[in-house]
């Protein structure tokens, strides 16, 4: 919520790493326009790296 309201971070993409659950789903609903990836545990480091590369348009 603080990221969403902070005017200095309006364009930062958000990756949500979660074990899932209702509070997380509510947060995603509030931030959905900025959430670029939703990764559920267990996840691999390679999966996280790939998500970051795709969001930042890196090879």
Give the domain ranges of the chain. Answer: 2-56
**pLDDT at 54 exceeding the cut of 70:** yes
Phi/psi at 18 (5° precision): -150, 160
Q: Is the pLDDT of residue 16 over 90?
A: no
Per the document, the length of the chain is: 59
Quick check: 19 and 41 in contact, CB under 8 A? yes
Q: Which two tokens stand for residue 48?
A: 């996280």
Predicted local confidence at residue 26, as pLDDT = 63
* H or E segment to which residue 15 belongs: strand 14-18
- Whether the Cβ atoms of residue 9 and residue 33 lie closer than 8 Å to each other: no
Q: How high is the mean pLDDT of the chain? A: 79
Q: Which residues are registered as beta bridge partners of 38?
A: 16
């Amino acid at each position: 919520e603080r990221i969403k309201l902070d005017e200095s971070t309006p364009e930062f993409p958000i990756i949500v790493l979660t074990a899932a659950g209702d509070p997380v789903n509510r947060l995603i609903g509030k931030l959905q326009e900025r959430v670029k990836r939703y990764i559920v545990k267990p996840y691999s480091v390679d999966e996280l790296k790939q998500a970051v590369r795709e969001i930042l348009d890196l090879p």
